[in-house]
Amino acid sequence: MRVEVKKRAQKYMNERTEKDYNKIDKAIALLEDWDGDIKELEGRKNEYRLKISPYRIIFTYIKGDDQITVTKISTRGDAYKKG
């Protein structure tokens, strides 16, 4: 499975400390194997979240596709807000 990180999510990662950047980067790499604390978001079709405290990685995946798209990375308080 291929993982694509959108520009907005990459920018958020780049603004983190090196330690946090590496933590998020390793978590994104685990998405290829669908590994980690992953749950489907209620009320949103094909959207999931990966929890890696204190961050939430929001991504889309359509069953049958071979691609995961990371659309947003944020802390818990802001991660689930639309937009």
Q: What are the residue ranges spanned by the domains of the chain?
A: 2-76
Q: What is the mean pLDDT of residues 32-37?
A: 90
List the structure tokens of 51: 């929890």
Fold type of domain 2-76:
YaeB-like fold (3.30.2310)
Using pLDDT thresholds of 50, 70 and 90, give the confidence band for residue 83. low
| Beta strand 55-61 pairing with 67-75 | antiparallel
- pTM for this one? 0.89
Q: DSSP E strands: which ranges in 1-83?
A: 2-5, 37-40, 47-52, 55-61, 67-75
Percent of the chain with pLDDT over 90: 70
